[in-house]
């Protein structure tokens, strides 16, 4: 038995986003009922190459754009329309959502450590911290290296100040700490030891002596 594809009313779906070329907030798609809601929430009807669409007025402040786009999306959803609102325009989104998620993740790791009852559970937590590619310490090292290079690029005198220069040493310390944690992980899990960690260069920036040659 051949199963037919369901019918989707694509034109009834409304997408509210910001056009990257013009900076205008536009709403595309929707029925006449949706058009009425858009116009009542501040959008203007405009002719387009594939039919009319809606947009917010020119030169509208960014915060006003976000407020009107969010209000329109909420009104459309309340009326039963399917809507996609660009997250950058959504005033109801949590600004620090990713940071809060990261903090929750760290709290969960801590809880897993205290609740661990087997060696394998401890090893799993240590892997989360120090895994070579996606572990927390290697990722923090990447951030430190990026900050170090950015600080060097913005140094008007072309010389690294003492604290900035030591960021490179800090990156090496993070690499070594991750290596030691992986050794502990292997010991706890009863797996063979990994080879000794080579000294990893902190990043593409040159040392102070090399840059003064």
Q: What is the pLDDT of residues 9-64, one digit of tens each?
A: 545 789 999 988 888 999 998 888 999 999 999 999 988 877 789 999 988 888 89
**Contact of 153 with 147, CB cutoff 8 Å:** no
The pair of structure tokens assigned to 193 is 């030891």
- For residue 202, the model assigns a pLDDT of 52
- For residue 4, the model assigns a pLDDT of 65
167 CB-near residues (< 8 Å, 6+ apart): 144, 145, 147, 148, 151, 202
The distance from CA 206 to its chain's CA centroid, rounded to whole angstroms, is: 29
Closest CA to 202 of 138, 157, 159: 138
Buried b (16+ CB within 10 A) or exposed e, 151-181: bbeeeeeeebeeebbebbebbeebbeebbeb
The owner of tokens 């999306």 is 73
Higher-confidence residue of 48 and 173: namely 173
Does residue 160 register a pLDDT over 60?
no
| Predicted structure pTM score | 0.48
């Amino acid at each position: 038995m051949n199963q037919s594809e369901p019918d989707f009313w694509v034109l009834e779906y409304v997408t509210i986003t910001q056009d990257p070329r013009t900076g205008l907030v536009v709403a595309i798609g929707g029925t006449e009922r949706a058009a009425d809601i858009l116009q009542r929430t501040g959008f203007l009807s405009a002719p387009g190459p594939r039919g009319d669409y809606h947009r917010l007025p020119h030169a509208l402040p960014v915060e006003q754009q976000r407020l009107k786009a969010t209000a329109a999306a909420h009104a459309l959803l309340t009326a039963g329309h399917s809507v996609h609102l660009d997250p950058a325009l959504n005033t109801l989104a949590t600004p620090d959502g990713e940071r809060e998620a990261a903090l929750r993740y760290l709290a969960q790791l801590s809880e897993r450590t205290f609740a661990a009852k087997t060696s394998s559970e401890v090893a799993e937590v240590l892997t989360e911290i120090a895994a070579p590619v996606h572990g927390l310490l290697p990722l923090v090292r990447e951030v430190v290296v990026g900050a170090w290079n950015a600080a060097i690029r913005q140094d008007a005198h072309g010389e690294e100040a003492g604290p900035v220069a030591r960021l490179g040493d800090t990156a090496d310390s993070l690499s070594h700490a991750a290596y030691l944690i992986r050794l502990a992980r292997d010991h706890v899990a009863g797996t063979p030891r990994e080879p000794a960690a080579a000294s990893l260069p902190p990043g593409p920036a040159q040392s102070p002596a090399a840059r003064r040659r």
